[in-house]
Structure 1
């Protein structure tokens, strides 16, 4: 599994997902997060653990938490635990095992095929970040980062890290931020404002951010005078952050615009992807203080 995500050229707006099942429902996880898939095995229970945490296992010398995805989603156990699967994943600088009922196949798709969930059925506490229609079925893309934060709130963005840097006046610097998670948009706004960056325009995906920049250029504006920097997540419906960075760097009207990729997928194994599309900086979530320092470096 470690090499599967590397098969895709960076910046093509494509991804591979591992399809897995919980009950009769189909879900997906980005291959870039997946290290390997194992048959389920016995776990060591941990007293007073979070209800999503089934226990721990030892894998090649590492002790890893096992997260029960059916419990996290409010579903029933499979009833056939001996046939269940473990998905070993790494993101947000953490590694964990996700206990699912079955793993079926890998799909190669475009981010443009992923629809944002409607607010009519999503709800504020939903862990679904995208809906994919495949061969007459619907595969739901899960927000595994949100599951992590529910288990351990300290693993999320922490505004106290910014307070240590001290308040600076940066409101004259305009930043565009592409981030599909409403929660993270709110947290980013609060923490960057705390750091003095008050002039931030948010977009729900890379396509909206690119459309904004292209419209400025079409209207004859000096884009790099109006906008000083772009922050982008990687995993977003319609257009991912790698493709956004590539499109920015290929456009002469704003190719000099600094781009920072701020994502849970910034790992040693995957950092080369951001380099290939010309990103000026790559910071792993939730290292918000490191993000602010990188912004300071690139636009001041």
Structure 2
């Protein structure tokens, strides 16, 4: 296992090509799951865990790793499955989401696979609102589930979506008028977080469940506009990781389209890494905001809406 992530920092060339790499792992049973390698810092045999009073029922304990105290979440139990009983033969995936580092306890880690986002499909319609799946794919003729980690983390430690008094301003919506702000994110939790954070600005919002859905909606709207789509869509806020079409590819498609290229695009993602700024510039997005700080997001939205009015 020591070398499984040795080359993670060399994998950034995949980003922007509608491709990703999944780290495959198991919880309890034969079902395989996947997590984007770009969110993974390290994989290690489960270290000694220390329980603490009144800890969340899904947290197995805390571990001291490289000078940092990290909560370790039993990923099986957190998704409604049985508890992982034996930590001695288990592994911890150290990952960074939404500017925080956490550990995910899993029973086994397999390998890294390279896929196209086109091969990553939304979860089945029958999965329901309680499902912890954000996407599925097929590997070796078996279904692999990609978990909605943002939903899991939000249930354990909910993120505040409230804006500071100095940032909230309903007059922003009055200036924008009937034009909408589109929010594209494959996580229902993340979409609603953005929506709730921007409601104090008085904006009309349109939701898309992934990049492909967003592009289809935008193309339909553009067909109804006499000139630029900005007559009806004032701004797009898009996640990067999404099934069927990632946020970078969505942005590139928009910027290459004469009728859509003027939409300001803010990429809003829990992905971390120095490659983000370079990729934002490469595909032509106007801004990049790491998830999730409501004041930062709202401030960026106000900035680009104002910029749009000036231009």
TM-score, normalisation: structure 1: 0.90
**Compared CA separation, residues 252 and 290, structure 1 to 2 (3 A):** same
Mapping 1:19-38, distance limit 5 Å: 19-23=24-28, 24-38=30-44
Identify which of 5, 8, 14 aligns with 1:4. 8
1:193 partnered with 2:196: no
Moved more, 185-194 or 135-144: 185-194
Partner secondary structure for residue 209 of structure 1:
helix
Mapping 1:236-275, distance limit 5 Å: 236-268=242-274, 270-275=276-281
Q: Which runs of 5+ in 2 are unaligned?
A: 307-311
**Compared CA separation, residues 79 and 67, structure 1 to 2 (3 A):** closer
1:41 partnered with 2:44: no
CA distance in 2, matches of 1:74, 1:174: 37
CA distance in 1, matches of 2:279, 2:89: 35
- Shift, 1:219, TM fit: 5.3
**Compared CA separation, residues 160 and 226, structure 1 to 2 (3 A):** closer
1:87 partnered with 2:93: yes
Identify which of 210, 216, 219 aligns with 1:214. 219
Partner secondary structure for residue 141 of structure 1:
strand
Partner secondary structure for residue 115 of structure 1:
coil
CA distance in 1, matches of 2:160, 2:261: 29
CA distance in 2, matches of 1:55, 1:188: 30
Identify which of 61, 67, 70 aligns with 1:64. 70
Moved more, 167-176 or 284-293: 167-176
Mapping 1:167-178, distance limit 5 Å: 167-170=170-173, 171-172=176-177, 173-178=179-184
1:276 partnered with 2:282: yes
CA distance in 2, matches of 1:75, 1:284: 30
CA distance in 2, matches of 1:267, 1:158: 24
The question of whether the paired residues in 1 share the 8 Å contact of 2:168 and 2:200 is answered with: no
Moved more, 69-78 or 55-64: 69-78
Moved more, 289-298 or 209-218: 209-218
- Shift, 1:160, TM fit: 4.2
Q: Which runs of 5+ in 1 are unaligned?
A: none
The question of whether the paired residues in 1 share the 8 Å contact of 2:161 and 2:196 is answered with: no
The question of whether the paired residues in 2 share the 8 Å contact of 1:162 and 1:288 is answered with: no
- Shift, 1:240, TM fit: 1.2
1:297 partnered with 2:303: yes
Question: 2:309 aligns to what?
Answer: none
The root-mean-square deviation of aligned C-alpha atoms, in Å, is: 2.2
The question of whether the paired residues in 2 share the 8 Å contact of 1:2 and 1:36 is answered with: no
The question of whether the paired residues in 2 share the 8 Å contact of 1:66 and 1:97 is answered with: yes
Identify which of 152, 164, 168 aligns with 1:165. 168
